[in-house]
Structure 1
């Protein structure tokens, strides 16, 4: 997690590795030094290729989940810039394309009609068995259900809202606010619920399904 104070603005710089980011709070701008500000709100997603000159700025106290491909993570001057052919991606939360059970097998269809259902958007990678990928899952207010996974790694970060997570051998659920994390390795079922609309980021090697309780 990275926190930015209101008004933060970095000088132009590069990184030695590619990273991805999801905005959790506030508004962030990450682009070429001469680009017009694009303030990405909570739920927005971006990637920053290694070697590409850019700046990062914050409007309001801001928080982001930053995922590093591999370490170490270094900040270097523009004079060391290089071009790998990869280009940055900035996706405002309002421009994400959400898929429902009728669009993807990653959301289990329900036997009965429900008012609202979970949705998923695929951000990066290859969403297939034994492949690494990143997704966002949107759970509607009042959702009760589970994540079902056989993935070798399954990692979840709460981006927006509030998630309740069932814990083995405990009568009380864990209460997860934005920035909270849980995960598993190998086959697992995670009982979850959300009183308000909630968005989580999921990084996984393999596949998973979201199933609503009927």
Structure 2
């Protein structure tokens, strides 16, 4: 009887120890699969570049109209060339363009002020900061602005970017999109594997984010965030839509709204915030956001 009890005790102990070892092993596997453990501590030969909004050179968007046209400041690329380009658009308060078309399609993000972009006969739909729109090539439209410091970010995939008369309209097969900031859908760490529990969130606004094709998204970082954005995409560009984050590098820089952060290939972008910050991101790969 005593021997049977002793055997039961030994078996129970072995089962308990085995269970503990299994739990430890599973926990180690979970720990090794966390975002932080997948990201390097540093990157050799970083390719990160920063363009501050205050460093941008401004010129007339449509030189033929001179001061009747908005100002434009290139952040990357060359809107007069054939390459993909991103630039800032700065219309005056009360600006309203004549009906016109473009030879290329573009995407836009409102940074400050209010923008209306639609068919000439459409009622005004003023889009505030954080709103997104697309304008198909060949479609007749007008663009209007309200606010003393209205700025938008404009992006094309192929240049040159030209303003042409409405008489040259054509149907590209594309259709315009206007998304007010109130209709942006934000996802947090419980829904997106790319971010840890740092309070950050992501909104996917165009393209397929799980492929190596170009796609666009918004990143929202909370006040007091201190962490990293890790990217491996061959193309990565981020424009500050809201706030003034600190970029922590060999030389710390404050990225005022409209500033541009970019990299090619594997890169770590160290960011800290005092207030809520929103980035617009154009990339051809996944990225990760984690706190330190």
TM range (shorter): over 0.9
Match 2:206 to one of 120, 124, 128: 124
Match 2:163 to one of 75, 86, 96: 75
How many Å separate the matches in 2 of 1:130 and 1:76?
33
Q: Secondary structure at the match of 1:104?
A: coil
CA-to-partner distance for each residue in 1:132-168, whole Å, 9 max, x for gaps? 1111101111111110111111111101111111113
CA-to-partner distance for each residue in 1:11-44, whole Å, 9 max, x for gaps? 0011010000101111000000011101111111
1:197 is matched with 276
Structure index of larger Rg? 2
How many Å separate the matches in 1 of 2:211 and 2:161?
29
How many Å separate the matches in 2 of 1:129 and 1:52?
29
Q: Secondary structure at the match of 1:35?
A: coil
1:210 deviation in Å? 1.0
1:174 deviation in Å? 1.1
How many Å separate the matches in 1 of 2:111 and 2:95?
16
Match 1:51 to one of 98, 115, 138: 138
Instruction: Determine whether 1:88 maps to 2:176.
Output: yes
How many aligned residue pairs are there?
204
Task: Give the TM-score, by structure 1 length.
Answer: 0.92
Task: Give the TM-score, by structure 2 length.
Answer: 0.68
Q: Secondary structure at the match of 1:94?
A: helix
In proportion to residue count, which structure has more strand?
1
CA-to-partner distance for each residue in 1:167-194, whole Å, 9 max, x for gaps? 13x4xx2110101111111111111111
Instruction: Determine whether 1:34 maps to 2:121.
Output: yes
1:10 is matched with 97
Q: Which has the higher contact order (CA 8 A, sep 6+)?
A: 1
Structure 1 stretches of 4+ with a deviation exceeding 2 A read none
1:119 deviation in Å? 0.7
CA-to-partner distance for each residue in 1:103-149, whole Å, 9 max, x for gaps? 112222x3xxx6xx111101111212421111110111111111011
Match 2:246 to one of 158, 164, 184: 164
How many Å separate the matches in 2 of 1:92 and 1:67?
18
**RMSD of aligned alpha carbons:** 1.1
Gaps of 5+ in 1: none
In proportion to residue count, which structure has more helix?
2
CA-to-partner distance for each residue in 1:80-109, whole Å, 9 max, x for gaps? 11112211011111110001011112222x
Match 1:148 to one of 221, 230, 245: 230
